[in-house]
Structure 1
């Protein structure tokens, strides 16, 4: 298993794109500079009226299948 850590600060206006047809994935850069593609469905639960802000952990298995994506701090 591999863990990737992200600090996200995304304004609500940008988050609106997560709900548009055809927008299925988002590419983020983890703390070590690795680019990770994540299904946008995993970000939607964290959208608030101000957007998305906080520290997150992504865990994938050895085949890069998503195991968990969670907010670990504000």
Structure 2
């Protein structure tokens, strides 16, 4: 967990999901995914944020998510 000037937090994590597993992101009632950050923190991410990264292979890669003091996502991006 890195502290930013606005006292927000930055989390880094890896995701590797098949396309079949990603199909759940589009099902009614599946509003979030829980991932484990590199720090060991479990973080909840809205599936709407994940959908932009789904390819025919699913989702693979490293991600960075920055949240503000109210736990609102400031940025969510693929970094590798």
Query: TM-score band (shorter)?
Result: over 0.9
Unaligned runs of 5+ in 2: 1-7
Instruction: Give the CA deviation at 1:63.
Output: 1.4
Larger Rg: 2
Query: Matches of 1:8 and 1:65 in 2, distance apart?
Result: 20
Greater strand share, 1 or 2? 1
Question: TM-score when scaled to structure 1?
Answer: 0.95
Runs of 4+ in 1 over 6 A off after TM superposition: none
Root mean square deviation, CA, Å: 0.6
SS at match of 1:46: coil
TM norm structure 2? 0.88
Aligned residues: 73
